[in-house]
Amino acid sequence: MPFEQIAVLGAGLLGGSLALAVPARLGGAARVRLWARRAETVAEAQELGIEGATGDLRVALDGADLVILSTPVGAFPGLAARMLECGVSPSALVTDVASVKRLPHEALGAMLAAAGLDFIGSHPMAGSEKNGVGAAAANLFDGAACILTNDGGVGHGRLTELTRFWQALGSRCETMSAQLHDDLVARISHLPHVLAAVGAKVALAQPADGRLGGGGLRDTTRVAGGDAAMWAEILLENRAALERPLRDAAAGLSEMLAMLEACDHEGLRRWLEGAKQLRDGLPTSR
């Protein structure tokens, strides 16, 4: 294991899951400290068995050779400034777990480079409609894809170390540019969330009707149960990349409406068959 002391800054679902996964997967090969701003969150993390939970940023960073930012992206610049004030080790590698990547590189790249710190972005494609450290799970990253972004051109050896870390937690890693990442997740992650939210708004316009819904309603709207404030931030941060997929989705709905109005059975069948084939091509498990 290339990292012996890991500091996770931010105790939400991903941060808490990292703090559980490191000892579960790596045993004594690495130690982890989880920093949270609120004392109640620290106490909740400790109740979950995260012994290294602390509200003292200096303690969390002491001796850390890997620092993982797990707060909202908007908090990154202020948190990075505090890290530097606390004397984070100049040999530490810094990464994050945000679901957008262009903004973290823009917000942190120059600041950390000026301090002699390496930054490589990470996005573990793992999560849940639940949130907070109480929903954390040590197996959250099992089989999940993790996309790494190295727009700062950090040395290949460091990229290999970070790849090995995520693989040790059970993830499958790929590397791409931050822009390519943001374009990709706009289609495969952010658009599905928007469609789930639209489905919930339309299907449940009369909330009591939900009592008659089946698995299809629950499955297609599940992710709409995610934290609204967090998702509003994500969608705004990736709004440029999300514009095209949203327009394509609107065009698809218009196309279906036109086929229904024309009673075009064969056209509708072909449209649905094409969608089915694409869906059937998804891996059976992540």
Which pLDDT score is estimated for 260?
Answer: 98
Average pLDDT, the chain: 95
Q: What are the pLDDT digits (tens) for 230-274?
A: 999 999 999 999 999 999 999 999 999 999 999 999 999 999 999
Is the per-residue pLDDT at 75 higher than 90? Answer: yes
Q: What are the pLDDT digits (tens) for 223-242?
A: 999 999 999 999 999 999 99
Which pLDDT score is estimated for 130?
Answer: 80
Is the per-residue pLDDT at 201 higher than 70? Answer: yes
pLDDT band (50, 70, 90) for residue 284: confident
Report the SS3 class of residue 248.
helix
Q: Mean pLDDT across the stretch 164-171?
A: 97
Q: Dihedral sign, CA of 42, 14, 52, 104?
A: negative
Which pLDDT score is estimated for 286?
Answer: 58
Q: What are the pLDDT digits (tens) for 101-151?
A: 999 999 999 999 999 999 999 999 997 778 899 999 999 999 999 999 999
What domains, with CATH codes, occur in the chain?
5-176 (3.40.50.720), 181-280 (1.10.3660.10)
Which pLDDT score is estimated for 285?
Answer: 62
Radius of gyration of the chain (CA): 21
- Residue for token pair 């822009």: 179
Distances (CA, A) of 184 to 21, 115, 150, 174, 181: 27, 31, 16, 13, 5
Token pair belonging to 64: 């850390």
- Structural contact between residues 29 and 23, judged by C-beta atoms closer than 8 angstroms: no
136 Cβ contact partners less than 8 Å away, ≥ 6 residues apart: 13, 15, 16, 17, 19, 20, 48
Q: What are the pLDDT digits (tens) for 14-39?
A: 999 999 999 999 988 899 999 999 99
Distances (CA, A) of 253 to 85, 155, 175, 271: 52, 46, 33, 11
